[in-house]
Each structure stands twice: as structure tokens, then as C-alpha cells.
Amino acid sequence: MAKTVLVTGGCGFIGVNFVRLLLESREDWQVVNIDKLTYAGNLQSLQDVAHHPRYHFVRGDICDGVLVEELFSRFTIDTVVHFAAESHVDRSITGPAAFIQTNILGTFTLLEAARKQWLSEGRENRHCRFLHVSTDEVYGSLGDAGFFTEQTCYDPRSPYSASKASSDHLVRAYFHTYGLPILITNCSNNYGPYQFPEKLIPLILNNALQGKELPVYGDGGNIRDWLYVRDHCEAIVKVVEQGRVGEAYNIGGHNEKKNLEVVELLCDMLDAKVGMLQSGKPRKSLVTFVRDRPGHDRRYAIDAGKIAEELGWTPKFTFETGMDKTVDWYLDNRTWLESVMDGSYRQYYEKMYGR
């Protein structure tokens, strides 16, 4: 069915992969991407689709209610897929204010615009959907056993996860209070092309390529449940198309790994693909244990049974196939990585839009 989708944060890691998936696979969907272009937004990542006939980019802040409402009416938005957020836990510890602003107030601003546009009298809203993209981090930290289900109580531990939990609650409240047709997805850690090299996998790849130290927090025994980004994006499309309004869906790939395992695997893959370090040593020799992150959640693991049973979604990539594609992508796109590292990616807005 034809849709006009407002993608928020479409120049971030997952947003870029999502916009690409929609342009490739949904021929009757228009895509409007609103992105503030914070440090995490990279227009260069969508350079080749900038003039695609079904794609429109708007540089803007989701906290700007006037702009957001104007976009809803200008493009007759019927679907929102809301990615825009401050997303890095470490940054939320040193500077939480932006997380509160964008993740909570920005989500509120979008909800209000959708409520005004979709629920005013006489409007046809049967096909409208507001999908809020959230994280498994809202559930807190697991012990050695068990999984997060959609029934797990919220127990966020970092300013990032608390701000996401807060926005999840607001989104759910708009369903119960106003009948806004919302959906929520809570996904585990993603990896893949176009991820900003402050997150574990691209940071380690970048440092290992340059022969720099590989910082591992604490004892390296914290566990994350990794999902290849394309699988996450396909799950989101499924939820938009077939999800039950008002419901939350957990998304994950049953790929629990200790951080040290991930780092060592990346080292081995790079040694095999590009050769050992100049010193002749393996890249594992660069591993450096550093001071732990405060409040560092020990283990995340997702039970994705509901989305599998209700919507028939299961991941297509294993950790091995996904990591192989990811390492190859970073090796083939070194100029992308270099432009992020030297900051020149920030000039793409002027290059592409001439302002």
C-alpha cells in the first residue's frame, strides 16, 4: 500500500540503512527524511540517493513543532518511523541534557504533530502509523540467565536508556489516551555499514586498522546481543506493515557475545583480510583494558519470539555473515571512515544543497 513516511534521524546509522531499504524495496512509498545533522548525522551516507524522485531531505530539529507540523501537512504524512535520538551511552553520562531534549521533548513534539494531523475530526487515519524505534536498554541489565520479553519491567540505568524509556512511555500514553495508532520496537545492539566510529564495532575496526590501542571497558565480560542492521530495518518494515497497533515488539538475533570476544574476532578477521600489524604482531596485541563505564549494564539478551510468531520475522544474517559483510564494507569504504575521522563529512550539507 502506498505510504508517505516521515523518517526522523534518517542520516544516522540505522536511518541511512532504513532509507536505503525503503527506496530499494517499496516502490510506492515516498520518504521524507528530517535530520538535524548533529555530529552523528552524515549526509554523505545518502549522497547517491539525494536526488531520488521518492526521497526528500529536510534539515531540521524534531523539537521544532512549527517545522514538524508544516512537514506533516506539506507532504501529507501518514507514517512516522522515528529514529532521531542522541544514541551514545558514554555521551549521555558526560552530557545528558541533549538526550532529554531530543529523546523526550523531540518525541513529544512528533506525537503532538501526529495527534493534531491524524486525529482531528473528519480525518481518515485508519492507515496511519507512528512507529517509535527504541532499545532493549530500557529493560536494564540481566544476570547470567533469562531474556528480555515485552513483559519485562522497565529498569533503565543510564541517562540514555532513561530518556528512551521515558519516550516509550509517552508514545504508549498517546495510544491509550488519544487512540494514536502507535507501534514500538525495542531492539538489541546493531552493527553494520555507516555506523559512527564511537560505537564498539566501528571504533575497534578503525583503531585496529590504524594500529592504535583497542579500549575494552572493565574485564571485557559485558554481553551484548548483536543484530545486523539490515535485519533490524526489515523488522521495522514488517512492524509498520503488519504490526498490531498499540503493541511493542522486541527485535534481536540471539547473538550474545562478550565484548572481548567481539574485539578479538574483529582482530582475527582483519589479520586474515589485510595481514598482521607492521610489527608482525597480531592485532589482538592492541587490546587495552580501560576503566569501566559507570553503571555499565552487564548483559542484554532479547527474546524475539513475539515478532517471529506474529509477523514471521527472523534475522537473515548470522553473527559471522553479518560481521564479514561489515568488515568488508569498512575496508571498501575507507574514504567514508576517513572523512568522519577528519571531520570533513560535516561539509556535505553545503556540498549537496549549496547553502
Instruction: Answer with the entry of ligand TYD, ligand NAD, none that 9 interacts with (C-beta below 5 to 8 A by kind).
Output: ligand NAD
Crossing angle of the two packed helices 319-332 and 259-274, in degrees rounded to 10 = 50
Amino acid at 341: M
Instruction: Answer with the entry of ligand NAD, ligand TYD, none that 230 interacts with (C-beta below 5 to 8 A by kind).
Output: none
Q: How far is the CB of 199 from ligand NAD (least distance, A)?
A: 7
Applying CB under 6 A, does 14 fall inside the site for ligand NAD?
yes
Instruction: Answer with the entry of ligand TYD, ligand NAD, none that 270 interacts with (C-beta below 5 to 8 A by kind).
Output: none
Q: Please calculate the CA angle 16-75-181 and round it to the nearest 5 degrees.
A: 80
Q: Which CB atom, from 104 or from 128, has the smaller least distance to ligand NAD?
A: 104
Catalogue the active-site residues: 136-137, 160
Q: Which CB atom, from 179 or from 218, has the smaller least distance to ligand TYD?
A: 218
Q: Which residues pair with 130 in a beta bridge?
A: 80, 182
Applying CB under 6 A, does 84 fall inside the site for ligand NAD?
yes
Applying CB under 6 A, does 163 fall inside the site for ligand NAD?
no
Q: Which CB atom, from 33 or from 167, has the smaller least distance to ligand TYD?
A: 167
Q: How far is the CB of 297 from ligand TYD (least distance, A)?
A: 7
Q: Which CB atom, from 235 or from 267, has the smaller least distance to ligand NAD?
A: 235
Q: How far is the CB of 251 from ligand TYD (least distance, A)?
A: 15
Q: How far is the CB of 84 from ligand TYD (least distance, A)?
A: 17
Q: Which three cell numbers stand for residue 132?
A: 517509535
Contact footprint for ligand TYD (CB under 6 A): 89, 189, 199-200, 203, 215-217, 222, 224, 259, 293
> Binding residue for ligand NAD (CB under 6 A) from 109, 135, 166, 255?
135
Q: How far is the CB of 285 from ligand NAD (least distance, A)?
A: 28
Cα 313 to Cα 139: distance, rounded to the nearest angstrom: 22
Residue 30 backbone zone (phi > 0: left; psi -120 to 50: alpha; other: beta):
beta
Q: Which CB atom, from 175 or from 345, has the smaller least distance to ligand NAD?
A: 345
Applying CB under 6 A, does 187 fall inside the site for ligand NAD?
yes
Q: Which residues pair with 65 in a beta bridge?
A: none
Using CA atoms of 62, 27, 19, 255 in order, give the dihedral in degrees to the nearest 10. 120
Nearest to 318 by CA among 236, 226, 232: 226
Q: Please calculate the CA angle 43-45-51 and round it to the nearest 5 degrees.
A: 70
Going through the chain in order, the beta strands assigned E by DSSP cover 3-8, 29-35, 55-59, 79-82, 129-135, 182-187, 190-191, 214-217, 223-225, 227-228, 248-251, 256-258, 287-290
Q: How far is the CB of 291 from ligand TYD (least distance, A)?
A: 11
Tell me the CA distances in angstroms from 157 to 118, 162, 229, 291, 324, one per residue in order.
34, 7, 24, 18, 32
Give the burial class of 326: count Cβ atoms within 10 A of its Cβ; 0-12 exposed, 13-18 middle, 19 or more buried: buried
Q: Which CB atom, from 33 or from 259, has the smaller least distance to ligand TYD?
A: 259
Instruction: Answer with the entry of ligand TYD, ligand NAD, none that 251 interacts with (C-beta below 5 to 8 A by kind).
Output: none
Footprint on residues 63-82 left by ligand NAD (CB under 6 A): 63
Q: Which residues pair with 225 in a beta bridge?
A: 256
Per DSSP, the three-state class of 44 is helix
- Residues lying near ligand NAD in the complex (CB under 6 A): 8-9, 11-15, 34-38, 40-41, 61-63, 83-85, 87, 102, 106, 133, 135, 164, 187, 189-190, 196
